[in-house]
């Protein structure tokens, strides 16, 4: 998935030029032309990085940054036309990750962007509720499961079971708990239903894609986690 960059810049020609260059480099870019719109988009949590001009209509860049920092750790690079020490100091003080003085060479900007993205560890779970473990990802809202980018077809029950395991990844879940949580308290049927469905999941995920995510804890139940990189199994 490409990194998404928000560009808040009121000089439309400059904004378009930067956008083209960033897209060419493989980033996804959204633009805002004033501080208020920029802040609103930045707060959406959809971006990996924000490029923020200081001199902006509606709300200046310093104020946007100040309000953004109350809620978000997203990397911010300030763009400033004024090469004054004051701007730099107060920009970095209020939580900017970097700044660049206009006019700048696009290569310089790209280097700063790469650097800021590298220094920033993304949040473990994406904002939209997607559950991930290693190469596996699940979007509960769209009822979608993928390994890498390959979709995996699961039945309703398999999906619910996998979802519960992923929501509790790393924790050992007893069979009875899985039965309660996934099949419901009133479920009447074979108590080995859990084992049967675990087998289905293993064959569709672990075996199909050469992973080992679903582990049996003998006498207790199951845990989903990434296999330790080494050691005998």
Please, what is the minimum distance in Å from the beta carbon of residue 11 to Ca ion?
Answer: 6
87 binds Ca ion (CB under 5 A): no
Please, what is the minimum distance in Å from the beta carbon of residue 61 to Ca ion?
Answer: 8
63 binds Ca ion (CB under 5 A): no
3 binds Ca ion (CB under 5 A): no
HSE-CB at 16 with a 13 A cutoff on CA atoms is 3
Please, what is the minimum distance in Å from the beta carbon of residue 55 to Ca ion?
Answer: 4
Please, what is the minimum distance in Å from the beta carbon of residue 77 to Ca ion?
Answer: 14
**Stretch in the footprint of Ca ion (CB under 5 A) among 7-15, 105-113, 160-168, 205-213:** 7-15
SS3 78: strand
Q: Among 10, 30, 139, 206, which residue interacts with Ca ion (rule: CB under 5 A)?
A: 10
53 binds Ca ion (CB under 5 A): yes
55 binds Ca ion (CB under 5 A): yes
Using the minimum distance from each CB to Ca ion, give the nearer residue, 33 or 209: 33
- Between helix 61-69 and helix 85-93 the angle, nearest 10°, is 20
List all residues 6 or more positions away from 97 whose beta carbon is below 8 Å from its beta carbon. Answer: 75, 76, 77, 116, 119, 120
- Between helix 156-167 and helix 193-201 the angle, nearest 10°, is 90
**Stretch in the footprint of Ca ion (CB under 5 A) among 13-21, 49-57, 122-130, 216-224:** 49-57
Identify the CA nearest to 157 among candidates 184, 191, 133.
184
Please, what is the minimum distance in Å from the beta carbon of residue 212 to Ca ion?
Answer: 53
Please state, in angstroms and rounded to a whole number, the distance separating the CA atoms of residues 227 and 203: 17
With contact defined as beta carbons under 8 Å apart, do 224 and 202 qualify? no
98 binds Ca ion (CB under 5 A): no
Chain positions contacting Ca ion, by CB under 5 A:
10, 53, 55
């Amino acid at each position: 998935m490409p990194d998404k960059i928000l560009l808040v810049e009121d000089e439309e020609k400059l904004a378009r030029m930067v956008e083209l260059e960033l897209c060419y480099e493989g980033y996804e870019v959204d633009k805002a032309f004033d501080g208020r719109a920029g802040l609103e988009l930045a707060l959406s949590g959809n971006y990996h990085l924000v490029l923020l001009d200081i001199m902006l209509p509606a709300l200046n860049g310093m104020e946007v940054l100040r309000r953004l920092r109350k809620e978000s750790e997203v990397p911010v690079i300030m763009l400033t036309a004024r090469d004054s020490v004051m701007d730099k100091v107060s920009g970095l003080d209020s939580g900017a990750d970097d700044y660049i003085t206009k006019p700048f060479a696009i290569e310089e900007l790209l280097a700063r962007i790469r650097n800021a993205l590298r220094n920033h560890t993304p949040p473990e779970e994406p904002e939209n509720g997607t559950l991930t473990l290693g190469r596996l990802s699940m979007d509960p809202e769209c009822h979608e499961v993928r390994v890498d980018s390959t979709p995996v077809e699961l039945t309703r029950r398999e999906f619910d079971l996998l979802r519960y395991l992923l929501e509790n990844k790393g924790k050992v879940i007893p069979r009875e708990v899985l039965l309660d949580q996934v099949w419901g308290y009133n479920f009447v049927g074979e108590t080995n239903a859990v084992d049967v469905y675990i087998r289905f999941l293993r064959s569709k995920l672990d075996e199909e894609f050469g992973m080992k995510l679903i582990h049996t804890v003998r006498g207790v139940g199951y845990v989903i986690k990434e296999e330790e990189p080494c050691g005998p199994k």
